[in-house]
Amino acid sequence: MSEKLKKYFSLIKFSHTIFAMPFALIGFSLAMQTGMYEFNLQKLIYVLLCMIFARSAAMAFNRYIDRDFDKKNPRTVIREIPSGKISPKSAFVFVIICCVGFIVSSFLINKLCFYLSPIALFVVLGYSYTKRFTALCHLILGLGLALAPIGSYLALTEHFSLLPLLFSAIVFFWVSGFDIIYALQDDDFDRSQNLKSIPVFLGRKQALILSRLMHLIAASLIILIYFYANFGLLYLIGTTIFISLLIYQHVLVKPNDLSKVNLAFGTTNGVASVIFCLFVCSDIFIL
């Protein structure tokens, strides 16, 4: 892999694609579970491309928009744009390329996905601005990633359904909750720059309580789906592991000890997403 490519992979934190990608696979599997649609490798590839392009555009745009703040923040000054590894112009061009790639990929899926693609881009790109005027910015991020299950479901079915929407709701509360935890690292800096976040608005202790509440709602929805959709033992095992990892990340992070935020944010949530996907999809296709 070339050094230049490595820089762009670092710019967009490509490894974090693991958060929503497994839920996109769950949405695709739910469409096949209806028995009305066969496995379509081509559409699955287009779905994965949409996920990669949309998230890459959103992440690069966030880095581009926040470049002046990142220069001032000791935690983020080493990022690619403030450190000079990637120029702002190059980052912006990369955003445009990813947006075009997302729209083209959605066009190749079906008309409905193509018509909805500008709305999806508005949400995922708009997140970068929200921290300037609302503490609810974490919810916008959650909404952006929550498009994964229902979007991949629409790729095959071209119609909305309650079950994939429930999985999208799980992603919404799960991502919003762990983004609050991640934002704890910058609450002092954000306050100094008049940036908005839940930790800035509520303080660390209350922000963690709200994060726990959101994860409790996500866990409740996972259990609700188990009964609603008559899932089997494998789903239940995946649910147990996922909820256990939600609890674990709240054990790791305390208001007066943020040393394990990255472990809670990246590793724990990434593992939880992949394991849950494996068990849910296995339950769909094996049982």
What average pLDDT score do residues 142-158 get?
A: 95
Percent of the chain whose predicted confidence (pLDDT) is above 70: 98
pTM of model > 0.85: yes
Give the integer Cα–Cα distance in Å for 228 and 206: 33
pLDDT of residue 6: 80
What's the number of domains the chain is made of?
Answer: 1
At 271 the three-state DSSP class reads helix
In tens, the pLDDT along 231-282 reads 999 999 999 999 999 999 999 999 898 888 887 777 899 899 999 999 999 9
Give the integer Cα–Cα distance in Å for 150 and 3: 36
In tens, the pLDDT along 101-141 reads 999 999 999 999 999 999 999 999 999 999 999 999 999 99
Residue tagged 């660390």 (tokens) = 204
pLDDT of residue 196: 96
DSSP secondary structure letter of residue 158: S
Q: Which of 140, 168, 137 is nearest to 152 (CA)?
A: 168
Positive or negative CA dihedral for 36, 114, 17, 132? negative
Percent of the chain whose predicted confidence (pLDDT) is above 90: 84
Residues 6+ apart with CB under 8 A from 57: 95, 98, 99, 102, 121, 124, 125
Across 5-14, 52-61, 148-157, 202-211, least confident range: 5-14
Residue with the larger pLDDT of the pair 129 and 38: 129
Distance of CA 38 to the CA centre of its chain: 27
User: How does residue 205 score in pLDDT terms, banded at 50, 70 and 90?
Assistant: very high
pLDDT of residue 19: 85
Q: Specify the CATH number for the domain of residue 35.
A: 1.10.357.140
Residues 201-207: contacts with CB within 8 Å, 24+ apart?
Answer: 201/135, 202/135, 204/255, 204/256, 205/255, 207/180, 207/183
pLDDT of residue 73: 95
Domain that holds residue 213: 3-286
